[in-house]
Amino acid sequence: MNYYSILNFKREPFSNSPEPEFLFQLPQYSDCLQKLELAVRLRRGINVVIGDIGTGKTTLCRKLIQNFSSTATDHQVIETHLLLDPTFKSSLEFLRTFASMLEIQDSQGADQTEWNLKEKIKNCLFDKGVDEKKIIVLIIDEGQKIPEDCLEILREFLNYETNNFKLLQIIIFAQKEFHDILKRKVNLLDRVNLSYHLEPLNFNQMRAMIHYRLRVAGHPEKAPSLFSFWGFVAIYLHTRGYPRKVVFLCHQIILKMIIRGKKTAGWFFVRSCIHEKEKPLFRKLTWALSGILLVALAGMAVSSISLKKMNAGANQPLQEIHAQPASVAVKQAESMEQEEQSVPDEPGEMPDLVMPDQIGKLSITPRRTIWWTLYNIYGDNTDPRIINRVIAANPRLKNKDHVTVGTILTLPAIPADVPPVRNGDIIIVLESGQDLEKMYNIFRNNPHERLLPPLAFLAFWHKKKGLEFNVVIDKRFPDIPSARAVVDQLPGEIGSRVKIVSTWDEDTVFFNRRALQY
């Protein structure tokens, strides 16, 4: 029975196969893919991606291979070879396997020694890399299984090079214990170009990943709402944000929803699905610990509400975030089954967030250029540190002076050395939101532009609220009455939504370094 067809899906949303189409482009995945692709195209040698079991390494690996096959050009063909299980009994067996992957003739003969195979591999790499101008990539999954004598062979492969580049590019995806193995191989560790560590998802990332899978498997315009907010909380408490565990549990939940005739999975429904696959001995202990973690997650309910408001439209005034007391959260979790409930605006402690590597992406439109975008976002389009970071974040950008319409520009998080406002400065915020594209479009295409004073675009990150983008009047005021006088002159529909802000604590990180005018 194809359960996904019963729920009007076109394909299975929670397959346990590493399908590249289901890789949700979270900041860490996008960043990792871009850095790996850049390292390969620059022929930097060996790169390592380390992550715990179930953090998405295999799916990331398949997505990388897909990217290489879809972006090859006439002058730069990338030839990839995937080694799924690097468990070899000897280095000779490894050499024979790799020689066979390269289609080297007579590589399996009993008379072939290690030296003979190395010479044949070296000559083959020279032919492909120099004469045929190909980039040869060896991708190894489950890298923690590589024997140490085979690691020594990989180190020797890195010696096969021209004056300009390495002939073989190596990417190893491995579990955390591989880091300790590398520490023992100092001569190999010293040659690693990129070492990237994958982490589990946070709560909001997990929700976004599930919604993304539902959209890919069903209707892109509108993903079905199969889980209530507290259903998501129950999933997160059990999986701790590990993608593989999330996918497996969601699959079990949907199967049970079909059997029970349910349309939405809430807290108790998800918990019953988990109980069915757990041993009775551990059930009470697991959910006792989950209850403790639930208290820590209580404040995230507001993030859910904020995201809904953001998606409903970018023209909303700046909102303050309030968290629930733990006691209220626990009571609601016990009483809610299918529908999300509103969260009372009472103070609570929100967990600290980690600043992302990117602030978002912008599409190049007919009136939008990279240089004006850099100036508006970062306050400077001449600083080489900014330009180099932006170029590194956009490896497919061939010519920064001539960018075609529709190009997606990734904007890295580059903190300003000097913030545009100081604590105590009074500013007027016209619009605020957490979607970069929407807020930047408001800033660049404001229909009331002629009726407004000059505007500025402020992007900043706060360890409690995350990323936020503001369209502000390009002026700092000495006091509230001065700011009020300007607000009174604004068109009525705008003036009713503005917010006067005067406090910026030390946890605020700005990305625009151009000071607002006095």
Q: What is the pLDDT along the chain (518 residues), one digit of tens a residue?
A: 455 556 667 777 787 666 666 777 778 888 898 899 889 988 999 999 999 888 888 888 888 888 887 655 445 788 999 998 898 989 999 999 999 999 888 777 777 888 999 999 999 999 999 888 899 999 999 999 999 899 999 999 999 988 888 999 999 999 989 988 998 888 899 899 999 999 899 888 898 888 888 887 775 555 557 888 888 999 999 999 898 899 889 888 888 887 787 888 888 888 888 887 654 444 444 444 455 455 455 555 444 444 444 444 433 333 333 333 333 333 444 444 344 333 343 444 556 788 889 999 998 887 677 888 888 899 887 778 888 899 899 988 877 777 788 888 999 999 988 888 877 788 999 888 999 999 998 888 877 777 788 889 999 888 888 899 999 998 888 888 888 888 888 877 777 778 888 767 777 899 998 888 87
Q: Give a yes or no: residue 72 inside a domain.
A: yes
Both 182 and 256 in one domain: the answer is: no
211 and 172 share a domain?
no
Asked if the structure places residue 341 within a domain, the reply is no
Q: Are residues 154 and 260 in the same domain?
A: no
Domain range for residue 486? 352-518
420 residue type, one letter: P
Same-domain status, 381 and 328: no
Give CA–CA dist 117/106, Å, rounded: 10
> End of a domain among 175, 198, 221?
198
DSSP string, 425-456: -BEEEEEEES-HHHHHHHHHS-TTGGGS--EE
Distance of alpha carbon 59 from alpha carbon 240, whole angstroms: 19
Same domain membership, residue 236 and residue 376: no
Are residue 328 and residue 413 in the same domain, yes or no?
no
User: Model-level pTM?
Assistant: 0.52
Whole-angstrom CA distances from 259 to 227, 254, 411 are 16, 9, 46
Q: What are phi and psi of 477, to 5 degrees?
A: -110, 145
Within a domain: 514: yes
Domain boundary among 132, 163, 198: 198
My answer on whether 273 and 169 are in the same domain is: no
Domain boundary among 183, 198, 213: 198
The candidate with the shortest Cα–Cα distance to 354, out of 241, 249, 237, is 241
At 106, which CATH number? 3.40.50.300
Residue 233 sits in the same domain as residue 190 = no
The DSSP string of 325-390 is PHHHHHHHHHH-SSS---------PPPPP---SEEEEEE--TT--HHHHHHHHHS-S--HHHHHHH
Per-residue DSSP letters for 207-254? HHHHHHHHHHHS-TT-----B-HHHHHHHHHHHTT-HHHHHHHHHHHH
**Exposed (0-12), middle (13-18) or buried (19+): which is 315, by Cβ within 10 Å?**
middle
Same domain for 411 and 309, yes or no, is no
CA 310 – CA 302 distance, rounded (Å): 12
One domain for residues 384 and 495:
yes
**Is position 16 within any domain?**
no
In this structure, is residue 219 part of a structural domain? yes
* Rounded CA separation 168/140 (Å): 13
Question: Does residue 365 sit in the same domain as residue 492?
Answer: yes
Please indicate, yes or no, if residue 22 is contained in any of the structural domains. Answer: no
Asked whether residue 13 is assigned to any structural domain, the reply reads no
Confirm whether 387 is domain-assigned: yes
274 and 406, same domain (yes or no): no
Backbone Cα Rg of the chain: 27
Domain total in the chain: 3
